[in-house]
Each structure stands twice: as C-alpha cells, then as structure tokens.
Structure 1
Amino acid sequence: MQLVGLNPHDHGDLSIRSVPRETRRFTEIVASEFAGAAVCCPIFFAKNADTGELYAGALFGFEEGSPLTGGPGDQTEPFVSLDRKRAGFYIATDHIAIDEACPRFSRTEGEPLFQSDGSPAPALRAVQAVLTQLHSGKSETDAFIKAMMDLRLIEPIDVSLSFDDGERLSLQGLYTIGLDGLGELDDATVVSLFRAGHLQLAYTVALSSRQLPVMAARHNSRLSQEAQ
C-alpha cells in the first residue's frame, strides 16, 4: 500500500463510492463505538502482532467474508465501524493521505471529495469527522484498556463452538472482561471507574459476549441452508 497526500490539485476530480459492506472477521474499534457494536457483535481484546499491546475489536463473524451480525436477507447493517467508514483514508502527520489503489475511489462515479473551488465537499468533511473520532478515540481506548489491566480485569476467553453438521470451531488469542472481577471491586474503585467513564465501557464489553450464541445460531442456520 502506497499512501499519497490528499489535495485538490491532484484529486480535484476524485470521488468516493459508498462504504463497502463488512467482510472482515475481526475489526479494531474505539471506546465510543462499544455501545453501537455491542448491539450485534461480541467485543474482545486481542494483541497487536507487531507490538504485543492489546486493542479492542468487534467480532463480525467466525470466518473472513462471512459476517453474522444480521439476519437472513438484511439489507442494512446494524453496526458500521469507523474503520470501515474511513476506508482508503489515513492520517499522515497533520494531513490526510489516501491509498489511491483502494477500490472505493473513482473518477467516474460516487460523491466528489472537493468542491469546484477546491474546498472539501460534504463527503470529505464526513471522512474528516471519522478520522478525528478515530484519532481521539485511540487514546481514550488505550486509557480504558490500561485501567482494566491495572485492575487485572482482562482475562483470556476460550471460544469453542460445535455445530449440527459436526463442524467444530475454536477462536484463539481473544480476551474479555470478567463479570466476576467487576463484581468484586471495592466501592472506591467503582466510583473512580464510573467518573472516568470506564465502568459502563467495562460492562458493555463483558455483556457483549452474549452475542456469541446468537451468532453461532446464525452460523448453524447458514450451514443447514447450504446443506439443503
């Protein structure tokens, strides 16, 4: 991937197509997305392969290319991550850079990025807002994860599933927040977490794992339909 700085001189006629549908199994999200993601996705932590540091992510399915966040025939997605909304756009120091090879970009269709006078068009302003949310959300999320780690509330989770056709599935390298650990916190710590905005996030993560059996049922139903 080669990034280039976005500017009206080189990209004045560039447009973007609509946000692509989710195909990834697991996608990084930030704290402000937890509530929206938990409606349909389990939220887990995973280790960055390069740094070993934990990050938060939404689990959209058990396999790449097979999301399980909606029912059969759903035309709208219940949750669209900020990372997907910014597809093709990146922050490079203080500027926006793009991956010109990203299929989202076009010079013949889509919404224009710039007005005729070179100022940002509504589509680009929307992307700028998303990038701002991601940038500010990263530090907020890192602070939340650190607080959970300091209290030893983050624990590994073993996701082992069996399906009617005999398929067995195991997801490795995921972590969650234990409800037992949250329930054992002393009052002073609970108040401190509440005031920092971390308590609600912690419960959102812990309770989001209840989406796992829902997704498993959808996967099981999909296998049954494919077998017919």
Structure 2
Amino acid sequence: MAHPVLLNNLEHRELRVITRRGAALGDQLMSVPTFPSEFRDVQACYPIVFRKTTDGLGFEPIALFGFEDGENLFLRGERWDAPYIPLLHDRQPFLIGVSGEELMVNVDLEHPRVSRSEGVEVFKPHGGSTEFLEQANSMLLAIHHGLQGTPGLVAALLEHALLESFVLDVELNDGSQNRLVGFYTINEDRLQALSGEAIVKLHQAGHLQAIYLVIASLSNFRMLIDRKNATRHD
C-alpha cells in the first residue's frame, strides 16, 4: 500500500533511494503512462498505445514493456535494457504533491526503493538537497507540465474519431500464441482522410507531431516480439 508523505530534510534526513533495477523494486510491470511531450523519447524504445482510464470515461497513452500483466521484457536482472525509461516510472519513489498552487515533492515511504541503509542519499548531511534530489525535482516538474498536454491530445483524437481498438495476435517461434487486447491506436485511414483544415488545426495545436510519433512507435512491436522470443531460450 502506497504511503506518500511530504518530503522534508528533518524527518527524512537519512532517507536513501535504491537506484538499481529489479523485479523486487517495482520494475516488473507491463506498461506505464506517458504523455505527448515525452513521446519522442518513448517511441525510440517502446510501442505507444492508448488504454481506457480507470474510470472508463477517457483514454491515456502508455508505453508498453510486455504482452501480459507483470511482464517487462526490458528488465534483465538488475539492468533495464533500454536507453530511456518513461518518467512516470523513473521518478519513483517520488510523487508530485499539490498545496494550493504550490507543487511539493512527496515520497512513498512504502516503496521498495526507499531505504535507510543502502542507495543514494536524498539530502546532504547538513540538510541541503543532493544532486539526485534535484534531478528528481526536475523529473517531477517535467511530468507535471507534460501531463497537462494529454487531455487536449485525447480530445482531438476523439473529435476526429482517430482512436480505434486493435487486437495483436503473436505466434512465437516455439508455436505458442499470445494475444494483446484492450488497447487502442491511431486509425491511419481516418487520419489520411482528414481535411486540410483539420490537419492544420491539429498541427497548430501541437497534436500532429504526437500522432505521428505514436504511429512510428508501433514499429517497436517487432522488437518486443523478438524480446519475447528470446525469453523462451533464456
């Protein structure tokens, strides 16, 4: 159970964060949410697809790491085998807190990365922020601003009926069948059929680039399948 509290250099002066990777540290997951301003980095490594939000009323973009719950095909023991880790996962155990209009840094004390005996120090001996904490602050700020771009993109996709559900059937080299369901992607035929006026509107709103980055990211499914095949020989 998550236990987020406001980070401060008195109560948490001895706090450390374990930075190595591992299943026991929360890295064994199938996907993580992402946002439009991160798509360029994410699409270089992972497929970007959409799923319904937990309330079932909207959609959110996610980066896929595997084909089934609890499967991260990029996790290799204590190493993450990709040059980029999406920020909403990489920021752990820190979270954004909001007090009025002020953004605060919270920390999940129950997260497996939190330690008192090993890992990177969060505060300097005399209470100042370490470089590690400054980097976490920058990450959280990028997430805060980045997430603000998601509703506009999703609204534009729905306005032009550009989201469609898809099913991906994968037959692995050993003959086993895998099916990915419950996700959505860009309907490229509808995109191509949009009027020039609609395309200009998407471009001016900054959505067109994000749409094409999502489409480009789908080529990573081939690599994901290759990684899945490789696990059958490990």
Distance apart, 1:185 and its partner CA: 1.5
The residue number in structure 1 matching 2:43 is: 38
The residue number in structure 1 matching 2:213 is: 204
Does the 8 Å contact 2:48/2:214 carry over to 1?
Answer: yes
1:55-66 equivalences in 2 (<5 Å): 55-66=60-71
Deviation by residue 1:136-176 (Cα, 9 ceiling, x = unmatched): 11110121111111111111111111123221111111000
1:101-180 equivalences in 2 (<5 Å): 101-180=110-189
Kindly indicate which of the two structures has a greater share of residues assigned to strand: 2
Quick one: which amino acid aligns to residue 165 of structure 1? D
Kindly indicate which of the two structures has a greater share of residues assigned to helix: 1
Does the 8 Å contact 1:162/1:169 carry over to 2?
Answer: yes
SS of the aligned residue for 2:149 comes to helix
Does the 8 Å contact 1:43/1:57 carry over to 2?
Answer: yes
What fraction of aligned residue pairs are identical, expressed as a percent? 30
Deviation by residue 1:90-139 (Cα, 9 ceiling, x = unmatched): 12223222111212122223222123342322111111111111111111
Quick one: which amino acid aligns to residue 82 of structure 1? L
The residue number in structure 1 matching 2:195 is: 186
Quick one: which amino acid aligns to residue 78 of structure 1? P
The residue number in structure 1 matching 2:17 is: 16
Output the CA distance in 1 between the equivalents of 2:145 and 2:163. Answer: 23
Quick one: which amino acid aligns to residue 221 of structure 2? L
Output the CA distance in 1 between the equivalents of 2:13 and 2:75. Answer: 37
Q: What's the RMSD between the two structures over aligned residues?
A: 2.1
2:62 pairs with 1:53:
no
Does the 8 Å contact 1:178/1:206 carry over to 2?
Answer: no
Does the 8 Å contact 2:74/2:80 carry over to 1?
Answer: no
Larger deviation, residues 188-197 vs 127-136:
188-197
Distance apart, 1:46 and its partner CA: 0.3
Q: TM-score, normalised by structure 1?
A: 0.88
Does the 8 Å contact 1:40/1:70 carry over to 2?
Answer: no
The residue number in structure 1 matching 2:6 is: 5
Does the 8 Å contact 1:179/1:203 carry over to 2?
Answer: no
Aligned length: 223
Output the CA distance in 1 between the equivalents of 2:75 and 2:117. Answer: 32
Does the 8 Å contact 1:159/1:170 carry over to 2?
Answer: yes
Output the CA distance in 1 between the equivalents of 2:150 and 2:126. Answer: 38
Output the CA distance in 2 between the equivalents of 1:100 and 1:18. Answer: 15
SS of the aligned residue for 1:205 comes to helix
The residue number in structure 2 matching 1:222 is: 231
Does the 8 Å contact 2:46/2:63 carry over to 1?
Answer: yes
SS of the aligned residue for 1:159 comes to strand
Distance apart, 1:58 and its partner CA: 0.6
